[in-house]
Structure 1
Amino acid sequence: MSVLCCNDNGWVIDHQQIVRQWYNNCKIPKSSLLSDTNSLDTKVNKDDIPNAEERKMSNSEKLTTALQLKSDLFAIKSPYMMDSQFMKLQKTLETDYIPSTTSRKRKKKADKIDEDCVDYTVIKRLSDAHRSLISLAQEKGYLLNKYENIDNNKSAREASQIVGPGDSLIDIVETSSTDIVETSSTGKGETSSTYDNIKPPLVIEHAQDEVNIHINQLVHFNCDLPTVTQIFGEKYLLPVNSRFLLSDWSKLLQTDITDGNGFDLIVIDPPWKNKSVKRKKSYNTVWEDTLLDLPIYQLMNNGGLVVIWVTNKPKLHSFIKETLLPSWKLKFCVEWHWLKVTTNGELICDINTTMKKPYETLIIAQYINNIDNCLPSLPNQQVIISIPCSLHSKKPPLLEIMKPFLVENPKCLELFARNLQPHWTSWGNEVLKHQHLDYYEVT
């Protein structure tokens, strides 16, 4: 089970375990396991792979094995620190010198919280939920891993710096979107031009060594096992019964991704504009008003839920509740929080800080075009606790938590996705990024 424990405050979940369950029996080309450059080598005993001549198989024949996201991506051993803070801590440990804290004025500003403000209410609630849920998890034997040698999460930080072919997907999409295709003559000695047309859907029924997909083409991967296959000359891991559309914004608005049936759950993680993303240039961002063009209500089944990941910027919360949700014809339901912890249950940073927060917000809304809706109502102010993946802005999967509030076998969609999920439809201009084999290892 990926839900480690739960109580009235929320859930403690294991993000890594969820993904491990998805890929515990994958079809992989033998050539992927024997490659000198592939990261899977480090955990595969090549003596366990039968000789090709003995089995009369080619390098393209598929073996089965279990994969998982690299363990180091979840090696969050201690609360986050800036390099300068870590160096100061090292000096303390080496010399027993206790460095001075920040100035009294700054400390007062960071630590003092007005008990009448909204922040105090949220922090108090999250702190209580943290104590309650972590205590329960540790009673059950989870989140007990303590590390004597603090290295400022060096292995997790290094693992998150993977730079590979998946990072070029956005360039491929943008290039495709600006390619001009000449059409027939207008009859006046001139030629007209249009952008690349939407491609008809591609249905893949059997595991293949290579799949030729197009940008702006909805792909149905209907195979019975997760499969490593080659796309654009690179190896990607495709989960069972996944559907995806790799395209830019305009093509999403032009493509029917519903297959005639609406969705029961839509998860949206927009690339909100903020100073951190602008500084790091982590990904392309969108203006808030651009989201108003999304035809969300046209994609929904009656009673369907929409989960929006949002930063802790108050103005953004107001925009979503007062402008965005009404434009999508959705009714605001509840607000939940994701609380990030280390491998021994500590918060990844001080919850009272005025800078980086150890939590993110989920705003959940519902589409109701018929009052006859018997789905269970959502509990308010719930908290999801997990060890975060060190990849930038990678959120934990939510389906297992959301299932009690959805119809049986819900149809699910993720927008602005950078990875796939089994039985889900996913859209994004980097939708395959974290499916690249570089991010996985053999369990």
Structure 2
Amino acid sequence: MSLLFASKEGWIISHLQYVNEMYGKVVRDNGLCALSFNELIFEINSQYLRQNQVAQTDQDSSILHGKRKRKRLQLLPQKDLEKVDHVKQAFNVMISAAKNKGLFGRNISLDNNQVARLASEKFYQDTYCLKDENLYGSNDTDDAIISEAHNKKYVFPKKCTFYCYDVRDMEKKIELNNQYDFILLDPPWWNKSIRRKKIKCAEASYKMMYNEELVKIPIKRLLHSNGILAIWCTNSSNHLNSIFNEIFPSWGITYRAKWYWIKVTQAGDTICNFNSAPGKQPYELLILGSALDKGRVNIPDGKLMISVPSAVHSHKPPLTEIIKEYLPSEPKCLEIFARYLLPGWTSWGLEILKFQHLSLYEILDESGRADDIRNENECDD
């Protein structure tokens, strides 16, 4: 179970544990094996500081008081301050209870997550040349399998279907018959940070989309009349306003709830401080809505999802175990802009096979012996 802890405030999830359990039994050519995901990507042992923040901290400590003009502190609007305070208090309650149960007991080393950063860089370098666009497939069996696509080896979870196509091609490639009980989106929101990253490092960037392109996704024709939709969002007021005022209305979605994904270190500390001024918060948002104005859809507001994040950008935690209580017993689920595959789900995205590549896993045979294959299947130049 990836669900480590649950309370009225929310859930604590282990993304790494979920992946390892998903591939605890895998069929390959010469029998059965298990896969262990590269845990270094989740080696988040201290709060994150960007290089300019590290330099700024050093600079601040060397400047005498009064020698430099300080910027006037700009606070968030009162409504936003109250929201941040509510999230912080709920987080403290959950973390305290979780630590009492023995979770988050590891000591931290303040190295600015160097191991995870290096593992993330290697991931970008190893998968940058994996161009698997215009590819469709599925694993209809009851077991995860290792198979080839475009002469490279990947692992595919059980009962999964995937489309490696641009989202603009959905109406041509997928059945639009209002079949999905749950649709999850992680849009490539247009933002300056990724734009700068694209200039400096193409491997770590991705294709961004404007909001007017997002509204064209045929959600009305994909979502069941009793279905639920969830969309990941940053704390950008522009993106939130677009969801509430443009995207949801154009999709025929009624807003239901806002959940908070809080990112923590392996010791249970937030990856950055809660901020009373405009800027980075230790959480991202999950905005939930439904296709019904009224009815049996009842989603609680203000829930927290706490997990140690991946060092790879936009590698979101799985929602399977926490969303299932709001869905039918055997739901049909679709993820758009997916970054990895899930058992029983349909996944759509240009990068959905990158986290399936065997270079990210260690193979364990039936006797428990590890066959390290992380240097196999390297990308061709």
- Shorter-chain TM-score bucket reads 0.7 to 0.9
Q: Residue 303 of structure 2: which of 378, 382, 405 is its match?
A: 382
Which of these two proteins has the greater Rg computed from alpha carbons? Answer: 1
Contact 1:86/1:152, CA 8 A, preserved across alignment: no
Q: 2:174 aligned with 1:256, yes or no?
A: yes
Residue correspondence of structure 1 range 36-435 to structure 2 within 5 A: 61-83=29-51, 85-86=53-54, 106=70, 109=73, 113=75, 117-147=78-108, 149-161=109-121, 162-163=123-124, 166-170=127-131, 173=133, 215=134, 217=136, 219-257=137-175, 262-281=179-198, 282-352=205-275, 354-368=278-292, 373-375=295-297, 377-435=298-356
Look up the equivalent residue of 1:63 and give its one-letter code: G
**Contact 2:9 2:303 (C-alpha < 8 Å) held by counterparts:** yes
Alpha-carbon distance change, 429 to 98 in structure 1, aligned in 2, over 3 angstroms: closer
Tell me the secondary structure at the aligned position of residue 321 of structure 1.
Answer: helix
Mapped to 2, the partners of 1:380 and 1:224 lie a distance apart of 35
Normalization by structure 1: what TM-score? 0.74
* Distance change in 2, residues 1:140/1:390 (3 Å): same
CA distance in 2, matches of 1:368, 1:326: 12
**Normalising to structure 2: TM-score of the pair?**
0.86
Offset at residue 349 of structure 1 (A): 0.7
How has the CA–CA distance of structure 1 residues 167 and 347 changed in structure 2, closer, same or farther, with 3 Å as cutoff? same
* Maintained 8 Å contact 1:169/1:429: no
Moved over 4 A (4+): 84-89, 97-108
- Distance in 2 (alpha carbons) for counterparts of 1:357 and 1:311: 9
Change in 2 beyond 3 A, CA 1:405/1:99: farther
- d(CA) in 1 for partners of 2:154 and 2:116? 22
Write the letter of the residue equivalent to 1:3: L
**Whole-Å Cα distance in 2 between the matches of residues 145 and 442 of structure 1?**
26
Which is further off, 242-251 or 394-403? Answer: 242-251
SS of alignment partner, residue 128 of structure 2: helix
- Per-residue CA deviation, residues 326-356 of structure 1 (Å, 9 max, x unaligned), is 1111111111111100001111012116433
Aligned pair count? 355
Distance 2:256 2:25 in 1: 38
1:374 deviation in Å? 3.0
Residue 355 of structure 1 aligns with an amino acid whose one-letter code is G
Distance 1:159 1:440 in 2: 12
Whether contact under 8 Å (2:182, 2:332) holds in the other structure is: yes
Q: Percent identity?
A: 34
1:10 and 1:382 in contact (8 A); partners too: yes
Q: Distance in 1 between matches of 2:115 and 2:6?
A: 30
Q: Which runs of 5+ in 1 are unaligned?
A: 29-60, 174-214
Distance 1:348 1:224 in 2: 38
Q: Contact 1:347–1:358 at 8 Å: present in 2 too?
A: yes
Is this contact kept in 2: 1:414–1:427, CA < 8 A? yes
